[in-house]
Structure 1
Amino acid sequence: MKARILRYLKHIFLTLAVILPCLILFGLSQGATANYGTQQYFMDWHNDGPYVFYETDSTVSIHHVQGNRDDGFELKTETHSLIGAPIASTFYNPDSSQFEVSLAAQFTTPPAVYNDGSSILAISDIEGNYRAFRDFLIHHSVIDTNLKWTFGNGHLVLPGDFVDRGAYVTQVLWFIHYLEQAARQHGGQVHFIIGNHELKAMHGNTGSASEKYTYIASFLNRQQHDLTGPDSYIGRWLESKNALERINGHLFVHGGIHPDFAESELSIGEVNTIIRSGYRRAYFPRAEGDEHELLHSGRTGPCWYRGYFKENLEQEQVTAALDKFGAKDVIVGHTLQHRVKTHFEGKVIAIDVKHPSDHEMNWPHGASEGLLIEGADYYRLREDGSRKALK
Structure 2
Amino acid sequence: MKPLQSIHLFWLLLLSHSSLATPLAPQDNTPIYDGPYVFIEPGAAQPQTAHWICHNQLAQTPIKQAKLSRPSDCAQLPEPTLNSHATALLPDTYEGVNKVIALSDVHGQYDVLINLLRRHKVIDSQLHWAAGDAHLVMTGDMFDRGHQVNEVLWFMYQLNQQAQAAGGQLHLLMGNHEQMVMRGDLRYVHPRYQTASEQLGRSYDALYANDTVLGQWLRSKHTIVKINDTLFLHGGISQEWIDRKLTLSRVNALYRQHIDKSKPELKQDDLLNFLFFGNGPTWYRGYFKANFNQQELDNILAYFNVKRIVVGHTSQSQVLGLFDNQVIAVDSSIKLGESGELLIIEDNQLIRGHYDGARSIL
CA distance in 2, matches of 1:339, 1:241: 26
CA distance in 2, matches of 1:28, 1:167: 22
Rate the CA distance shift 1:41–1:184 in 2: closer, same or farther, 3 A: farther
Report how far residue 99 of structure 1 moved. Answer: 4.8
Number of the residue aligned with 2:51:
63
Q: 2:60 aligns with which of 71, 76, 83?
A: 76
Counterpart residue type for residue 376 of structure 1: N
Task: Give 3-state SS (helix, strand or coil) of 1:100's partner.
Answer: coil
Number of the residue aligned with 1:129:
109
Rate the CA distance shift 1:211–1:34 in 2: closer, same or farther, 3 A: closer
Rate the CA distance shift 1:185–1:338 in 2: closer, same or farther, 3 A: same
The alignment status of 1:276 with 2:268, answered yes or no, reads no
Number of the residue aligned with 2:3:
none
When Rg is computed on C-alpha atoms for both structures, the one with the higher figure is 1
What is the TM-score normalised by the length of structure 2?
0.87
Report how far residue 105 of structure 1 moved. Answer: 6.1
Rate the CA distance shift 1:224–1:97 in 2: closer, same or farther, 3 A: closer
CA distance in 2, matches of 1:220, 1:287: 31
Rate the CA distance shift 1:279–1:205 in 2: closer, same or farther, 3 A: same
What is the TM-score normalised by the length of structure 1?
0.81
Report how far residue 383 of structure 1 moved. Answer: 0.6
Rate the CA distance shift 1:29–1:89 in 2: closer, same or farther, 3 A: farther
Q: Which has the higher mean CA deviation after the structures are superposed, 177-186 or 256-265?
A: 256-265
Number of the residue aligned with 1:190:
170
Number of the residue aligned with 1:220:
200
CA distance in 1, matches of 2:266, 2:158: 40
Counterpart residue type for residue 343 of structure 2: L
Rate the CA distance shift 1:231–1:289 in 2: closer, same or farther, 3 A: closer
CA distance in 1, matches of 2:181, 2:18: 26
Task: Give 3-state SS (helix, strand or coil) of 2:282's partner.
Answer: coil
Q: Deviations over 1:167-211 (max 9, x none)?
A: 111110011111001111110100000000000111111111101
CA contact (8 A) 1:90 1:174 kept: no
Q: 1:329 aligns with which of 308, 325, 328?
A: 308
**1:118-197 correspondence to structure 2 within 5 Å:** 118-197=98-177
Q: Deviations over 1:12-67 (max 9, x none)?
A: xxxxxxxxxxxxx95786225588x9999983434x3110111125332311122x
Rate the CA distance shift 1:118–1:183 in 2: closer, same or farther, 3 A: same
Rate the CA distance shift 1:151–1:105 in 2: closer, same or farther, 3 A: closer
Taking every aligned residue pair, what percent have the same amino acid on both sides? Answer: 32
Report how far residue 322 of structure 1 moved. Answer: 2.3
CA distance in 1, matches of 2:168, 2:134: 5
Aligned-residue RMSD, C-alpha:
2.9
CA distance in 1, matches of 2:282, 2:11: 25
**1:48-127 correspondence to structure 2 within 5 Å:** 48-56=34-42, 58-60=45-47, 61-66=49-54, 68=55, 73-78=57-62, 84=65, 86-89=66-69, 96=76, 98-104=78-84, 107-127=87-107
Rate the CA distance shift 1:140–1:336 in 2: closer, same or farther, 3 A: same
CA contact (8 A) 1:132 1:357 kept: no
The alignment status of 1:387 with 2:359, answered yes or no, reads yes
CA distance in 2, matches of 1:357, 1:314: 30
Number of the residue aligned with 2:287:
308
CA distance in 2, matches of 1:257, 1:96: 40
The alignment status of 1:45 with 2:32, answered yes or no, reads yes
Number of the residue aligned with 1:243:
223
Number of the residue aligned with 1:229:
209
CA distance in 2, matches of 1:288, 1:279: 14
Rate the CA distance shift 1:370–1:74 in 2: closer, same or farther, 3 A: same
Q: Which has the higher mean CA deviation after the structures are superposed, 287-296 or 264-273?
A: 287-296
Rate the CA distance shift 1:287–1:340 in 2: closer, same or farther, 3 A: closer
Report how far residue 103 of structure 1 moved. Answer: 3.5
CA distance in 1, matches of 2:26, 2:269: 48
Report how far residue 375 of structure 1 moved. Answer: 3.0
Report how far residue 77 of structure 1 moved. Answer: 3.8
Report how far residue 347 of structure 1 moved. Answer: 1.4
Counterpart residue type for residue 325 of structure 1: F
CA distance in 1, matches of 2:294, 2:70: 46
Task: Give 3-state SS (helix, strand or coil) of 2:147's partner.
Answer: coil
CA contact (8 A) 1:90 1:100 kept: no
Rate the CA distance shift 1:94–1:124 in 2: closer, same or farther, 3 A: farther
Q: Which has the higher mean CA deviation after the structures are superposed, 57-66 or 330-339?
A: 57-66
Number of the residue aligned with 1:374:
346
Runs of 5+ unmatched residues, structure 2: 1-7
CA contact (8 A) 1:249 1:328 kept: yes
Rate the CA distance shift 1:40–1:267 in 2: closer, same or farther, 3 A: closer
CA distance in 1, matches of 2:177, 2:63: 30
CA distance in 2, matches of 1:229, 1:285: 18
Rate the CA distance shift 1:222–1:34 in 2: closer, same or farther, 3 A: closer
Runs of 5+ unmatched residues, structure 1: 1-24, 359-365
CA contact (8 A) 2:108 2:335 kept: no
Counterpart residue type for residue 55 of structure 1: E
CA contact (8 A) 1:153 1:188 kept: yes
Number of the residue aligned with 2:298:
319
Rate the CA distance shift 1:95–1:141 in 2: closer, same or farther, 3 A: farther
